[in-house]
Amino acid sequence: MNKMIEVRDATKHFGVGEVLKDVSFSVNEGEIFSVVGPSGGGKTTLLRCLAGLETFSAGEMSIDGDDMTHKKANERPVSLVFQEPLLFPHMTIRENVGYGLKFLDISKKEKSKRIDDFLSIVGLPEYENRYPRELSGGQKQRVALARGLILSPKLLLLDEPFSSLDRKLREEMRRWVRRLLKEKNITAVFVTHDQDEAMQVGDVIGVFREGTFEQIGSPEKVYENPQTSEVARFFGDAWVIDEMRFIPKRNLSIERIEIEEKVQWRGVIEGARFVKGYRFMEVLLDDEEEHIMLPAPEDFHTGENVYVSTDASNIRTFQQNREKR
């Protein structure tokens, strides 16, 4: 598959602080690359460098084989969709969608046709003469996406575009955006701090922390085989025993009694939690002084002493995963 974007040994300094540290990755044509990581880790800086709004302090990047390292933002075949929709409030929806076409050398007729097409694609043809103030948050973000896509960019960058939407709308938008990008075969880098969102939207996941990728791989691979304790803590639903070992949470259970052939940790039920229709119990582990949330089919009571149990074979090491790479 053709590599649409390639970044090699990229770094970025602001003063004495190093925000990006030897970042290297590539994204194939038509692939969606989710960059997920905690806030303040440098994700947005990475995206701004890819867009050309900032320059890498060192390193190279190319898009479709062309060197882009020193090109300005308005010379790159890249569109960026921001956290906020940033629609021009004084322009109609039609004018907003067609904004970038003003800078292209194409006929009026072609411009008009493209705007019509993209208004239909985002399902807002009847809103063309309205102003942004008349649209909901989700509709505004659709317009922002259409405004970016209408330029047929070789690379689409999405910087947490759903973060300002409510949960239900956010989930709808994730599905809709993924379907749209796949239909149009758009290469995209999607930045988020939400692991569910990263998995749902991306074909490939990159866990980004403290200015560098901790791990890159398919969502399933990163989820099942975290290579570092940080990836396991942030991305996988794993209980990290120490910096070397972890147990996937699905291999853990809560027991009332001590079972000799199992590995067990003593704890006390702190309370029940409900996540997406499932009941979980929060257990405070005695030795670890750590909370762990596990599904609990039985009706445990708050304050009850329990054992968090697993088979010894379920204990895995990060080293194993690194070797599997």
Partner 1 sequence: MKLSARIKPWLLLTPALLFLLLPLYGLWSAFRLSVYPDGKLTGQVYVRLFSHSDFLLSFFYSLWIAAASTFLSLLIGWFFTRAFVPMLERTGGRLTVWLPMVFPHFVWAYLVLLLFQEGGLVSGLLPGNRAYANDPEGVGIILTYMGKEIPFVILMLLPVYLTRNRLYDDLTETLGGCWISKIRDAELPFVTPVLIETGIIIFAFTFSAYEVPALVGATFPEMLSILTFDWFYSGDWSERPLAFAAMVFLTTVIGLISLLLFHFINKMRRNITEGL
Please report, as residue ranges, which positions from 259 to 288 form the binding site for partner 1 (by CB under 8 A): none
For the bound state, the minimum distance from the C-beta of residue 13 to partner 1, rounded and expressed in Å, comes to 20
d(CA 10, CA 16): 16
Number of residues engaging partner 1 in binding (CB under 8 A):
29
Q: Which stretch binds partner 1 (CB under 8 A): 46-54, 63-71, 188-196, 276-284?
A: 46-54
Contact call for residue 14 and partner 1 (CB under 8 A): no
H helices within 98-228, ranges in order? Answer: 108-121, 137-149, 167-183, 195-201, 219-224
Tell me the helix, strand and coil percentages in the chain, rounded to 5: 30, 35, 35
d(CA 84, CA 156): 16
Q: Which is nearer to partner 1, 96 or 227 (CB)?
A: 96
Q: Which is nearer to partner 1, 53 or 180 (CB)?
A: 53
Query: How far is residue 88 CA from its own chain's centroid?
Result: 26
Residue choice 108, 133, 167, 324 for contact with partner 1 (CB under 8 A): 133
What distances in angstroms separate CA 103 from CA 54, 100, 111, 288, one per listed residue? 21, 6, 11, 60
d(CA 152, CA 79): 9
Residue choice 26, 51, 264, 314 for contact with partner 1 (CB under 8 A): 51
d(CA 190, CA 158): 5
d(CA 178, CA 263): 42
H helices within 5-89, ranges in order? Answer: 43-51
Contact call for residue 103 and partner 1 (CB under 8 A): yes
Residue window 62-101: x/- pattern of binding to partner 1, with contact defined by CB under 8 A: ----------xxx-x-xxx-x-x-xxxxx--------xx-
C-alpha torsion 149→154→157→161, nearest 10: 20
Written as six digits, the tokens of 72 are: 């300005």
Written as six digits, the tokens of 56 are: 């890498």
What distances in angstroms separate CA 33 from CA 3, 91, 156, 181, one per listed residue? 12, 32, 10, 12
d(CA 216, CA 7): 14
Give the chain's length: 325
Q: Which is nearer to partner 1, 43 or 316 (CB)?
A: 43
Q: Which stretch binds partner 1 (CB under 8 A): 143-151, 167-175, 211-219, 305-313?
A: 143-151
Residue choice 147, 154, 193, 209 for contact with partner 1 (CB under 8 A): 147
Q: Which is nearer to partner 1, 131 or 280 (CB)?
A: 131
Contact call for residue 106 and partner 1 (CB under 8 A): no
Q: Which stretch binds partner 1 (CB under 8 A): 57-65, 146-154, 288-296, 305-313?
A: 146-154
For the bound state, the minimum distance from the C-beta of residue 176 to partner 1, rounded and expressed in Å, comes to 22
d(CA 108, CA 114): 10
Q: Which is nearer to partner 1, 152 or 302 (CB)?
A: 152
Q: Which is nearer to partner 1, 131 or 176 (CB)?
A: 131
Q: Which is nearer to partner 1, 99 or 176 (CB)?
A: 99
Q: Which is nearer to partner 1, 79 or 195 (CB)?
A: 79
Residue choice 41, 42, 132, 236 for contact with partner 1 (CB under 8 A): 132
Q: Which is nearer to partner 1, 69 or 264 (CB)?
A: 69
Contact positions vs partner 1 (CB under 8 A) = 48, 51-53, 72-74, 76, 78-80, 82, 84, 86-90, 99-100, 102-104, 131-133, 147-148, 151
